[in-house]
Amino acid sequence: MGGVGPARHVHAAVERVAAPEKRRAARGQGRIEFPYRPPRGRRRLAVGRVVSAIGEIPRFTGRRRGRRVEMSAAKSYGRMQWRVLIATMIGYTLFYFMRKNFSFAMPGLEQDCGITKSQLGDFLFAGGIVYGLSKFLNGFIGDRVNSRKMLCFGLLACTLVNVAFGFVPDFVEGRTMVWAFGALLVLNQFFQGTGFPPCARLIAFWVPPKELATKMSVWNTSHSVGGGLVAKVCGVIMGLGVLGSAN
Mean pLDDT highest for which of 58-62, 212-216, 220-224?
Answer: 212-216
Specify the pLDDT at position 63.
55
From 47-51, 135-139, 205-209, 218-222, the region with the lowest mean pLDDT: 47-51
pLDDT of 245 > 60? The answer is no
Q: Cβ-count burial of 28 within 10 angstroms (0-12 exposed, 13-18 middle, 19+ buried)?
A: exposed
Residue 197, preceding peptide bond in cis (omega within 30° of 0): no
pLDDT of 31 > 90? The answer is no
Average pLDDT over residues 12-37: 53
Specify the pLDDT at position 14.
53
- The residue among 92, 85, 81 whose CA lies nearest residue 222 is 92
For residue 84, the one-letter residue type is V
Are 155 and 95 spatial neighbours (Cβ–Cβ below 8 Å)? Answer: yes
Helices of type H across 114-195: 117-142, 147-171, 175-192
Q: How high does pLDDT run on average in the chain?
A: 76
Are 113 and 169 spatial neighbours (Cβ–Cβ below 8 Å)? Answer: yes
Specify the pLDDT at position 32.
45
Q: Could you count the other beta carbons within 10 Å of the beta carbon of residue 204?
A: 13
**pLDDT tens readout for residues 137-167:** 999 999 999 999 999 999 999 999 999 988 8
Average pLDDT over residues 94-108: 83
Specify the pLDDT at position 50.
42
The percent of residues in the chain predicted with pLDDT above 90, rounded, is 28
User: Distance between CA 228 and CA 246 in Å, rounded?
Assistant: 18
pLDDT of 203 > 60? The answer is yes
Specify the pLDDT at position 112.
79
**pLDDT tens readout for residues 50-93:** 444 444 444 444 555 556 656 676 777 888 888 889 999 999 98
Specify the pLDDT at position 189.
94
Mean pLDDT highest for which of 37-41, 129-133, 234-238?
Answer: 129-133
How would residue 231 be classed by pLDDT, with cut points 50, 70 and 90?
confident
